[in-house]
A and B are shown apart, each in its own frame.
Chain A
């Protein structure tokens, strides 16, 4: 097993992929997003409870590879408590983190280890879509109706 791949799947990602603390559907969801990658079939339903422009609760449900699952788990964990205004730069930061063309080092972007783990995806551009699947969907929703 080489270091590159170990880094990609380092314990943070494997642990988050198995973390069920934010799995499930919210009874009182105000917004439900469907993140789907038709190329591979990965599919997550992200439930959000947004009150006064603050994400109070976020959970997910669905199926996919370890990377998409871990990234969805991290997303739902980390957006809780954030305002809609804060979310957009946060997602942009995550995109920068996994962007293999970025000129910013991952460590200069964040010190959060759960997020930093995904920087290994820079070595695997074909897996970037897995890492950003749910994040992308949330960004699209923010640009669409959610902000209005």
Chain B
């Protein structure tokens, strides 16, 4: 039987008290998740017992490291249900992967007058890289607007699609509001115009099963640290033909066939796209995080985070003076709200005194906040270790803060 309390025990950070002596109530999982012992131990063991480089070194421990590193590629392939292992490229994170696809895929294919489509709810990471290349090339960056409910205006998307569109980049889930996008619908519409589709899955992979074959997306990216893995590692999924037709994401050692002073020829992907010594420990740790997710299983993870989200929404909506942002039936485990008369930063300082971690601000989504006429919101977001008791502690603290500040 699934029990979040026993899951919590697998995360060493919760065994400690905060500097003020409380239990830690961690509700900023959309920013980054805590790490289970299995991931921490795997990284420690790697450094302590089997550390070497990856590539063609023919000695132990490098042979062991190379085998383990490449096994993680297979694990990620299965996690995303990708058709081929070589469709998985390791990056340093979501931001890195987006910049690399922007440079290596979009830039050479974009001409003046072309169009790139994003949505109004993108994280700055899935906006600025495309924006900068559009500006450089004299191309147009068009935006799928959101409705007042926070959902994307899918009909507006259909009117934006033409054969001038060179890429559509959209997030699976709004990191600021928790709104889930109908990726199947978006991708189907885009494919009608043969538009390549790039999915920012940074907020998706921790709680919901992804199937890149069923989705039919060309690219999909996420970060290790948001799925119980280490920082500094991320994944770029790219369809085989896309990764093959692209120039290397960056240049350096480990990716070449033959090099002269004048020229270089390159290996096939994924090697072609992983120049330099990669974040080996990060990748190994990511493998342990994928194992951790698989051991619990997406069915349990989704059911649990959904139940916690529902419980939190119910409690928040029962409070006076709280406005939950975004009006949808089914949301990811991310809730943004404002408390009347209390600025989100003051709220977060108060909650910190209770050992409760929430996020306050614009959540790296300024265009979305402008659209909603908000300067800042308080955001809570959940992971597999959060319990109803966490929500109860939050609600009590919210009421105390409200009584004191407003």
Contact assessment for A8 and B349 in the assembled complex, using a CB-CB cutoff below 8 Å:
yes
Contact assessment for B353 and A41 in the assembled complex, using a CB-CB cutoff below 8 Å:
no
**Interface residues of A toward B: which range?**
20 to 34
Kindly list chain B residues whose C-beta atoms are within 8 Å of the C-beta of A109. none
Contact assessment for B349 and A5 in the assembled complex, using a CB-CB cutoff below 8 Å:
yes
Residue A60 at the B interface, CB < 8 A? no
Kindly list chain B residues whose C-beta atoms are within 8 Å of the C-beta of A67. 345-346
A127–B345 alpha-carbon span in the complex (Å): 9
Contact assessment for B361 and A9 in the assembled complex, using a CB-CB cutoff below 8 Å:
no
User: For chain A, what secondary structure do more than half of its interface residues adopt (helix, strand, loop), or is it mixed?
Assistant: mixed
Number of B residues near A (Cβ < 8 Å) is 19
A69–B362 alpha-carbon span in the complex (Å): 18
Contact assessment for B361 and A41 in the assembled complex, using a CB-CB cutoff below 8 Å:
yes
Q: Which of A91-148 contact B (CB under 8 A)?
A: 124, 127, 130
Kindly list chain B residues whose C-beta atoms are within 8 Å of the C-beta of A4. 353
Contact assessment for A66 and B375 in the assembled complex, using a CB-CB cutoff below 8 Å:
no
* Distance from B23 Cβ to chain A, minimum over Cβ atoms (Å): 15
Contact assessment for A9 and B404 in the assembled complex, using a CB-CB cutoff below 8 Å:
yes
Picked from A2, A39, A127, A130, the residue with its CB within 8 Å of the CB of B361 is A39
Residue B51 at the A interface, CB < 8 A? no
Residue B137 at the A interface, CB < 8 A? no
- Specify the chain A residue showing the minimal Cβ separation from B360: A40
Q: Which of A4-43 contact B (CB under 8 A)?
A: 4-6, 8-9, 14, 39-43
Kindly list chain B residues whose C-beta atoms are within 8 Å of the C-beta of A65. 343-346
Contact assessment for A127 and B376 in the assembled complex, using a CB-CB cutoff below 8 Å:
no
Q: Which of B338-354 contact A (CB under 8 A)?
A: 342-346, 349-350, 353
A73–B400 alpha-carbon span in the complex (Å): 26
A6–B353 alpha-carbon span in the complex (Å): 10
Residue B313 at the A interface, CB < 8 A? no
Contact assessment for A66 and B405 in the assembled complex, using a CB-CB cutoff below 8 Å:
yes
Kindly list chain B residues whose C-beta atoms are within 8 Å of the C-beta of A5. 349-350, 353
Kindly list chain B residues whose C-beta atoms are within 8 Å of the C-beta of A130. 345
List 28 A-B pairs, Cβ < 8 Å.
A1-B350, A1-B353, A1-B404, A2-B20, A2-B353, A5-B350, A5-B353, A9-B346, A9-B404, A39-B361, A40-B362, A40-B376, A41-B362, A41-B369, A41-B375, A41-B376, A63-B375, A64-B343, A65-B345, A65-B346, A66-B342, A66-B343, A66-B405, A67-B345, A67-B346, A69-B343, A127-B345, A130-B345
Binding site for B on A (CB under 8 A): 1-2, 4-6, 8-9, 14, 39-43, 63-67, 69, 124, 127, 130
